[in-house]
C-alpha cells in the first residue's frame, strides 16, 4: 500500500484535528485501526464458525481441547483457565457440547472427585474443519501485507498486548 492511500481512520483523525486541535489524537491512528480490524476479524470468525455449525464459545472450548494434544483432554479447571470463563459457565458449556456429541466426560483416574473432558471424533473433525476455514479467512485478511510486514506487525502488537496478558 502506498503512503498516499487513505482509509476511514485518516478521515476521522483529520476531522478530530480540525474540531479539537487542542487534543493529541495520535492514539486514534493505531487504536482505531485495531478496533476496525477487530470487527472484520470478528465477522470472519463468526462466518467460519457458522459454516461449521459452531458458536464462538464452542470453538473456544473445542480448540482448547485440541491444542492440548492427544488424547485431547483437559480438566474443567484447565478449560476455565484456557477460556477465561466462570466455573458455572464452563459447566453449562461442557453440558451443551456433550449433548451435541462434541465432547465426553470421564472420571479422572488420578482424582476420584474429578472429571476429564475430551474431544469426540465428531468434535475433533468439527474443530479441525472450522480451524482450517478460519485460517484461510485470516490469511485473506492479512493478504495486503507481505510476510516481513506481518512479522513486524505481530511483534509490535505483542509489545502492546504483553502487559495485559501477564499475570497480575
3-state secondary structure the chain: CCCCCCCHHHHHHHHHHHHCCCCCCHHHHHHHHHHHHHHHHHHHHHHHHHHCCCCHHHHHHHHHHHHCCCCCEECHHHHHHHHCCCHHHHHHHHHHHHHCCCEEEEEECCEEEEEEEEECHHHHHHHHHHHHHHHHHHHHHCCCCCHHHHHHHHHHHHHHHHHHHCCC
Across the range 77-100, mean pLDDT stands at 92
60 and 109 together in one domain: yes
Q: What values do phi and psi take at 87, rounded to 5?
A: -65, -40
- Given a contact cutoff of 8 angstroms between Cβ atoms, the answer to whether 102 and 120 are in contact is yes
Q: What is the pLDDT of residues 121-142, one digit of tens each?
A: 999 999 999 999 999 999 999 9
- Residue after which a domain boundary falls, among 94, 109, 128: 128
Residue 101 lies in a domain: yes
Q: Which of 27-41, 80-94, 116-130 has the lowest mean pLDDT?
A: 80-94
Q: Based on the domain organization, do 93 and 117 belong to the same domain? A: yes
Least confident of 32-36, 60-64, 126-130, 160-164: 160-164
Residues 77, 108 within the same domain: yes
**80 assigned to some structural domain:** yes
61 in the same domain as 41: no
Q: What are the angstrom distances between the C-alpha of 157 and each of 2, 140, 147?
A: 22, 19, 15
pLDDT value of residue 23:
96
Assign 4 a pLDDT band (cuts: 50, 70, 90).
low
Domain hosting residue 88, numbered range:
56-128
Residues 6+ away with beta carbon under 8 Å from 7: 33
Q: Do 42 and 68 have their domain in common? A: no
Structural domains counted in the chain: 2
The pLDDT confidence band at residue 1, using thresholds 50, 70 and 90, is very low
Q: Do 66 and 113 share a structural domain?
A: yes
Average pLDDT over residues 93-105: 96
Residue 28 forms part of a structural domain: yes
Structural domain contains residue 66 = yes
The whole model's pTM is what? Answer: 0.83
Q: Are residues 65 and 93 in the same domain?
A: yes
Structural domain includes residue 123: yes
Query: Do the domain assignments include residue 79?
Result: yes
Asked whether residue 39 is assigned to any structural domain, the reply reads: yes
Same domain, 43 and 64: no
Closest CA to 101 of 53, 51, 135: 53
Contacting residues for 43 by C-beta, under 8 A, at least 6 apart: none
Residue 94 CB neighbour total at 10 angstroms: 19
Amino acid at each position: 500500500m502506498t503512503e498516499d492511500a487513505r482509509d476511514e481512520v485518516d478521515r476521522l483523525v483529520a476531522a478530530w484535528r480540525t474540531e479539537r486541535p487542542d487534543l493529541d489524537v495520535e492514539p486514534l491512528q493505531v487504536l482505531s485501526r485495531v478496533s476496525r480490524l477487530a470487527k472484520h476479524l470478528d465477522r470472519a470468525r463468526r462466518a467460519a464458525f457458522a459454516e461449521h455449525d459452531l458458536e464462538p464459545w464452542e470453538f473456544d472450548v473445542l480448540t482448547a481441547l485440541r491444542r492440548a494434544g492427544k488424547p485431547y483432554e483437559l480438566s474443567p479447571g484447565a478449560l476455565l483457565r484456557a477460556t477465561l470463563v466462570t466455573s458455572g459457565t464452563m459447566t453449562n458449556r461442557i453440558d451443551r457440547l456433550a449433548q451435541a456429541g462434541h465432547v465426553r466426560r470421564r472420571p479422572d483416574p488420578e482424582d476420584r472427585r474429578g472429571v476429564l473432558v475430551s474431544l469426540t471424533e465428531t468434535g475433533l473433525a468439527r474443530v479441525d474443519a472450522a480451524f482450517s476455514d478460519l485460517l484461510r479467512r485470516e490469511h485473506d485478511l492479512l493478504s495486503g501485507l507481505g510476510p516481513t510486514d506481518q512479522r513486524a506487525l505481530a511483534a509490535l502488537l505483542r509489545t502492546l498486548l504483553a502487559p495485559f496478558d501477564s499475570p497480575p
